[in-house]
Amino acid sequence: MWDEAAKAKLRGAANRAGMVTSADPESLVLALEPEAAAVTVAASAPQRQQLSTVTARGPQKKRPQELEAGDVVMVVDCGGGTADVTLHEVVVDTEGRAGGGGRAAAAAAEGVHLLEAAVGKGVLAGGRYVDAALWRLLRGRVGPDVWDEWQRQQPREWTDLASSWETTKRAMKGLTVQLQLPPGLVRMWQQHQPIDGSGSSASPPERQTARRAAGGSPSVSLGVKLCSATGVVELSEAVLEEHVFGPAMAQIVTAAEEVKASGLGQGKKVTKASAVLLAGGFGNSRLLQRRLLRLAGEWGVPLLLPRDPGAAVVTGAALLGAEPGLVRARRCRFTYGIGATTPWSDEHEMHAAIFGYPQKIMNLEDQAYYADAVFATYVRSGQLVATDSTVTERYCPMRSTQQRVKIPLYATPAPAVRYVADTGVRHVAEVIMELPKGWRKTVERRLDYQFEVDMRFGASEITVVARDPRSHNAVAVRVDWR
C-alpha cells in the first residue's frame, strides 16, 4: 500500500502540473488500486456481467451471483510493483440514490456501496519481482560474469529480452516455456562455455560454484535447459512455479491470509465472501490464477477475473472520482492523535519513573503540575471511519500570555499509545493558530477560553482544523490518512 509520503509526493506533482490546486484539494481523489477494482465489479452492474469465473481449465464465462448485503469481497490487485489485498463488505440500499447521470450515478442508483471490512495489506510481489527472479535464474545459468558483461555491452539486447519475456509471461499457460536468448549473450556464453560431444553445455566445477553463488543450484539447473547451438532456454513448469513465480505468489497468498485473519478479527467471516477478485496486469498470469484458485477453493468461494484485469482499476478510479460515496467507510491504517498537555497524575508519575517521560511541567497560574506531550487519540488503527466524518475535541491555551497555539498531529500503527514519545509514534503535521489580542480579558478564567480541534476524514485525506469559536478564526492542514 502507498504510504503517506508517496501520496504526498504524487499530490505535490499534481499541484505543480496544474491538475489540482491547494485551494481545492478535494478535486483530486487518490484511489487505492484494489479499492478501485472492488468498486468496478461491486458497484457497477455492467462490469459484473463481464466477469469470468476462473476454473482449472482457465477463465470461463459464468455470470457470478448477485451481491447481497453483508457479502464480503476480497480483492487481490497484482500490478507490476506491488500486490495489494483488501476486504470490502457490501452494503445495499433498497431505495438507491437519486440524482446525477452517467455510469457513476447509475452504479450508485443500484444502491450498492462498500465498507472496508479490514485493513488492507500491500507486499512487494508484483510482476517486476517475477522478472527479477527469472533474471537471477538466467544469470546463474550462463554465469554471472558473462551476464553482467553482456548487460553492459548490449543494452539494446537486454531491453529486447525483457520485452520478449513480458510477452511470453502474459501468454504462457503453464507447462514449459521456451525463451530465445539474444545472439550477443549466446555468443559470449559459448566463448566461455566448454561443449561436450553431445552438443550440450558442460560447466567445469569452478563455473558451477560461481553459478550457485549467483542464485543457481543443481536442482534448479535440472529444470533449465540451454541449447548451445540455438541459445534457446527451456524452463520447466516446476522451475517456473517454484523459483520464478513461486516467491511472489507465496507473498501474495500470505498477504491474503493475513487480511482474511484481520477480517475475522472484525467479525467479517471470509466463508461468507461472495468471491475473491483478481485484478491488475499481473492478474493475467495463468500460474497466478491457478495458485489463487487453489486458495479460493480452500475458502469455498469462487475466483473472479475481469475481462481486462488492469483496466478494472482504471474504471473503478473513474467511478470513484465521479461518485466518491461508492465507498462509504474505510479502516484507519494508523492511530491518529495530537500532542496535548494534561494534569499530572500518579499514572504519569509511575510512567516517568520507568521510562523517563512524560515531562512534568509547572503551571504557575494554576499552581499545578501538568504532563507534556500526551497522545490525545482521535481514531485508532483498524477503526472503521465513515467518509466525511468529523471528530471534534476542545482544548484551552496553557498560559494567559499565549498568543498562538500549536497543534501537532501524530500517527502510529499501534492501536493504543499514551505519549508522543512512545515507540512508533511519528510527527506528520502541525497546525498553528493565532489567538486574538486581548483574548484573556474576554473570559473569567483561562480555562474558559476553549478552541476546537477537528479531525475530518475525507475520501483520501485527513483535514485537521483548529477553530476559535469566539474570533471565528480557523486554520487547517491536510495529510493523506490511508
Length of the chain: 482
- What residues pair up with 89 in beta bridges, in sequence order? 72, 115
Model pLDDT for residues 158-174, shown as the tens digit of each residue: 999 999 998 888 777 66
Residue 145: band (very low, low, confident or very high) from pLDDT cuts 50, 70, 90? very high
- Residue 164's pLDDT is 93
The most confident of the ranges 131-140, 295-304, 471-480 is 131-140
- What residues pair up with 330 in beta bridges, in sequence order? 385
User: Looking at residue 88, what DSSP letter applies?
Assistant: E
Model pLDDT for residues 248-292, shown as the tens digit of each residue: 999 999 999 999 998 888 777 655 557 899 999 999 888 899 999
- Residue 481's pLDDT is 52
* Mean pLDDT along residues 36-51: 76
What would the grid cell of residue 68 be? 447481497
425 pLDDT above the threshold of 80? yes
- Residue 158's pLDDT is 96
Q: What is the DSSP string of 271-301?
A: GGEEEEEEESGGGG-HHHHHHHHHHHHHHT-
- How is the chain split into domains, by residue range? 4-118+247-330, 127-237, 335-480
- Least confidently predicted of 151-160, 316-325, 423-432: 316-325
Is the Cα torsion angle 122, 125, 126, 129 positive or negative in sign? positive
- Residue 5's pLDDT is 67
What element of type H or E holds 14? helix 4-16
- Residue 94's pLDDT is 62
Q: Which CATH architecture has domain 335-480?
A: Sandwich (2.60)
47 pLDDT above the threshold of 60? yes
